[in-house]
A and B are shown apart, each in its own frame.
Chain A
Amino acid sequence: MRVEYINPSVEAAFNVLKEVLNADVKRGELYLKSTTMPVLGVAALVGLAGDVEGRVLFDMSKATALAVASAMNGEQLASLDELGKATITELANMITAQAVTKLHDLGFKFDLTPPALFTGDNMEVSDHEVEALIVPMEVPQGKIEINVAIRERA
């Protein structure tokens, strides 16, 4: 992934998580991965378009998703219902949008597409010819793995 895209993305994740969860957010070490990704249980996917093609995936366990959605709604949700899912989707949207905004200011013109949420224990999101940068984030509610795969449009 282009070096210039990394910092804005990580900063956006950090800022948004800190603000919406109002808690301590820790970032783990970045690394690269390139194979089909088994999903931790809940995955929010936001597409990227414009100068690049790709997507940002937010990966977390069902328990973490529920805890995060509850915290963001200010009430304990019993299960990951429509509201809970919309909450996680909106979290993904905000983080990606903030990254896109920062990158736009640096001269990289991206757009994002409306997000989608996938749940399912054995779901595999398969990417071909694309390597992903993994940004592990640790919040009180658990681990959120941000998985970014961007490729310059030829």
Chain B
Amino acid sequence: MIANGETLTRAEAVDQRKQRMDAVDFKMVTFALSGKDYGIDIMNVKEIAKAGKFTFVPNADNYLRGVYNLRGDIIPVIDLRIFFHLPAEKKHEDALESMLILRIGDHVFGVIVDNIDKVVGISSTQIQAPHPIFGDINIKYIRGVVENLDRLYIILDIVRIFSPKQEEKVLPPVAAVTASFAQPLPVAPAPLNENTVVSTSDLDFIKETLYANKRFATSEMNEAWVVARFKEWKGMRKSADVQLRDQADAEAYLEGFYSPSSGQFWDESYADAMMAMLPEIASRNINVWNPGCGKGLETYSFACVLRRRYQNARVKIWANDSDLLSISSAPNLVFDMEELPDYCREFTIKGKNGYSFSQDLKDSIMFEYHDVLNANPFPELDIVLARDLLSFLSPADQIRVFNDFSDKLKSRGILILGKNERPVPIDDWTSLGSPDISAWSRAD
């Protein structure tokens, strides 16, 4: 019975109070990616569209599907599924893709998703912090998660994902693009693929034996050297003797492949050549990744060289190896005076048992027991130093790891490979020119 003056039942009053507390102050456009529900702040969504023909843009990252003419504005279109390495539904050639047009500041661009659902309003108090325990995409792109009507939505931090720095990588000069507003171009050339052809030539047998005995995989990256070496090898051995019979033979064949000062401190001339090769780097913080560092002598050598070359910058080196025994002694190495090259001396201090590197230098290096084939959390890198690492991975892993280097390297970043290794495809890279040092930066 509602008495005079009372306009709400008790239950309704409780409800209203609850609603006031949980007022809707956040609206998101929800959509699906690989079967999971996601949301983007509606403030960043300009409109929704169904679109088909995107003009393909060559030489761009694979998640850039192309550009789209949005009523006169040319905007880049990104496939979020490819960006997040999620499986994408294969749509029919002419089928229209579901696209969200997003705006961040002055930048407008389209993102393709599996399908767009609806606008959901929630209270921002309900948003929970993301937990690494769920989610298929990198947690840094997630603003939070929220539950609504029995569905769990992962809210993407669209500003983090498409911050201007990232965009530079994505957008090629617009001028070049507007000029070619034509039919989609054919797909970019196929990358390195596994050499599965079994042939019977001597050289092919040698390649197989090298892999079987020393895990050395011949590929576009190092083929030039393998072939040149083969000529030498034939000259050295009698014709019946060309094949590699055992590990000792394989090791003999590989003599001359390895980079100078492998497994040791870099000698003076190599260190000087490295100093001379290293170009200017604008940033105050220089991030370096040194996978396959072994016992760490290469890392220490490089650290000293970098300190001298970039005196005003803070250098940070992530050095790792998957050989636990080698790398576990790296942080605490002690040396005799004679073992230390001159260019390292200023960074060492004398202790009870000998010389070790100063705390300051050691603090700039993080030695990690890490397998380069596993995921890693390294930030954007200025330099990757990976000498003679890729050649000892399977062909498929070579591609994977090389792509990882490429993804993580800043646009002006430097890639240093082994003396006889080359990046692939070589046209994408410019040599920083040095006979003993295989150093590269991206071709403009």
The complex places the Cα of A127 from the Cα of B379 at a distance, in Å, of 18
Whether the Cβ atoms of B368 and A1 lie closer than 8 Å is yes
Selected contact of B371 from candidates A3, A7, A34, A126, CB within 8 Å: A34
Instruction: Give A115-154 as 1s and 0s: 1 = Cβ < 8 Å from B's Cβ atoms.
Output: 0000000000111111101000000000000000001101
Whether the Cβ atoms of B370 and A131 lie closer than 8 Å is yes
Selected contact of B330 from candidates A3, A30, A33, A129, CB within 8 Å: A3
Let me know if B121 is at the binding interface, CB within 8 A. no
Whether the Cβ atoms of A130 and B375 lie closer than 8 Å is yes
Name A1-32 residues within 8 Å CB distance of B: 1-4, 6-7, 30, 32
Whether the Cβ atoms of A128 and B375 lie closer than 8 Å is yes
The complex places the Cα of A1 from the Cα of B369 at a distance, in Å, of 5
Most buried by A among B132, B135, B324, B328: B132
Whether the Cβ atoms of B374 and A32 lie closer than 8 Å is yes
> Using Cβ atoms and an 8 Å threshold, which residues of chain A touch B379?
154
Let me know if B377 is at the binding interface, CB within 8 A. yes
Whether the Cβ atoms of B366 and A2 lie closer than 8 Å is yes
Let me know if B322 is at the binding interface, CB within 8 A. yes
The complex places the Cα of A126 from the Cα of B375 at a distance, in Å, of 13
The complex places the Cα of A123 from the Cα of B429 at a distance, in Å, of 45
Whether the Cβ atoms of A131 and B327 lie closer than 8 Å is no
Q: A32-B369, A129-B375, A133-B369 are in contact. Are A4 and B331 (CB under 8 A)?
A: yes
Whether the Cβ atoms of A32 and B370 lie closer than 8 Å is yes
Instruction: Give B353-387 as 1s and 0s: 1 = Cβ < 8 Å from A's Cβ atoms.
Output: 00000000000001111110111110100000000
Whether the Cβ atoms of A32 and B322 lie closer than 8 Å is yes
Whether the Cβ atoms of B367 and A3 lie closer than 8 Å is yes
The complex places the Cα of A133 from the Cα of B368 at a distance, in Å, of 11
Let me know if B242 is at the binding interface, CB within 8 A. no
Q: A32-B369, A32-B371 are in contact. Are A128 and B138 (CB under 8 A)?
A: yes
Instruction: Give A94-132 as 1s and 0s: 1 = Cβ < 8 Å from B's Cβ atoms.
Output: 000000000000000000000000000000011111110
Whether the Cβ atoms of B368 and A2 lie closer than 8 Å is yes
Residue of B nearest to A131 (CB): B374
Q: What is the minimal beta-carbon distance from A96 to any residue of chain B, in angstroms? A: 18
Residue of B nearest to A55 (CB): B132
Whether the Cβ atoms of A152 and B366 lie closer than 8 Å is yes
Whether the Cβ atoms of B375 and A131 lie closer than 8 Å is yes
The complex places the Cα of A1 from the Cα of B368 at a distance, in Å, of 5
Residue of B nearest to A151 (CB): B377
Residue of B nearest to A35 (CB): B374
Let me know if B145 is at the binding interface, CB within 8 A. no
Let me know if B32 is at the binding interface, CB within 8 A. no
> Using Cβ atoms and an 8 Å threshold, which residues of chain B touch A152?
366, 377
> Using Cβ atoms and an 8 Å threshold, which residues of chain A touch B376?
129, 131
- A interface residues, tally (CB under 8 Å): 21
> Using Cβ atoms and an 8 Å threshold, which residues of chain A touch B136?
128
Whether the Cβ atoms of B370 and A1 lie closer than 8 Å is yes
Whether the Cβ atoms of A126 and B134 lie closer than 8 Å is yes
The complex places the Cα of A152 from the Cα of B110 at a distance, in Å, of 34
Q: A3-B331, A151-B377 are in contact. Are A127 and B132 (CB under 8 A)?
A: yes
> Using Cβ atoms and an 8 Å threshold, which residues of chain B touch A32?
322, 369-371, 374
Let me know if B139 is at the binding interface, CB within 8 A. yes
Whether the Cβ atoms of B139 and A3 lie closer than 8 Å is no
> Using Cβ atoms and an 8 Å threshold, which residues of chain B touch A7?
328
> Using Cβ atoms and an 8 Å threshold, which residues of chain A touch B322?
32
Whether the Cβ atoms of B328 and A6 lie closer than 8 Å is yes
The complex places the Cα of A34 from the Cα of B324 at a distance, in Å, of 16
Selected contact of A130 from candidates B324, B331, B377, CB within 8 Å: B377
Whether the Cβ atoms of B371 and A130 lie closer than 8 Å is no
> Using Cβ atoms and an 8 Å threshold, which residues of chain A touch B252?
none
Let me know if B133 is at the binding interface, CB within 8 A. yes
The complex places the Cα of A6 from the Cα of B370 at a distance, in Å, of 12
Q: A3-B330, A151-B377 are in contact. Are A128 and B135 (CB under 8 A)?
A: yes
> Using Cβ atoms and an 8 Å threshold, which residues of chain A touch B377?
129-130, 151-152
Whether the Cβ atoms of B139 and A6 lie closer than 8 Å is no
Instruction: Give B112-141 as 1s and 0s: 1 = Cβ < 8 Å from A's Cβ atoms.
Output: 000000000000000000001111111100
Whether the Cβ atoms of A131 and B371 lie closer than 8 Å is yes
Whether the Cβ atoms of B134 and A34 lie closer than 8 Å is no
Whether the Cβ atoms of A126 and B133 lie closer than 8 Å is yes
The complex places the Cα of A53 from the Cα of B134 at a distance, in Å, of 16
> Using Cβ atoms and an 8 Å threshold, which residues of chain B touch A128?
132, 135-139, 375
> Using Cβ atoms and an 8 Å threshold, which residues of chain B touch A129?
138-139, 375-377
The complex places the Cα of A85 from the Cα of B307 at a distance, in Å, of 52
Whether the Cβ atoms of B327 and A3 lie closer than 8 Å is yes
Selected contact of B374 from candidates A34, A125, A154, CB within 8 Å: A34
> Using Cβ atoms and an 8 Å threshold, which residues of chain A touch B134?
126
Instruction: Give B370-407 as 1s and 0s: 1 = Cβ < 8 Å from A's Cβ atoms.
Output: 11011111010000000000000000000000000000
> Using Cβ atoms and an 8 Å threshold, which residues of chain A touch B328?
3, 6-7
Name B288-342 residues within 8 Å CB distance of A: 322, 324, 327-328, 330-331
Q: What is the minimal beta-carbon distance from A98 to any residue of chain B, in angstroms? A: 20
13 extra interchain contacts, Cβ-Cβ under 8 A, other than A1-B369, A3-B331, A131-B370?
A: A2-B367, A3-B330, A3-B368, A6-B328, A6-B369, A32-B322, A32-B369, A34-B375, A126-B133, A126-B134, A128-B132, A128-B136, A130-B375
Pairs across A and B, CB under 8 Å, 5 listed: A3-B327, A3-B367, A128-B136, A129-B139, A154-B379
Residues of A within 8 A of B (CB): 1-4, 6-7, 30, 32-34, 125-131, 133, 151-152, 154
Of all A-B residue pairs in the complex, the 3 with the closest CB atoms, nearest first, are A34-B374, A131-B374, A3-B367
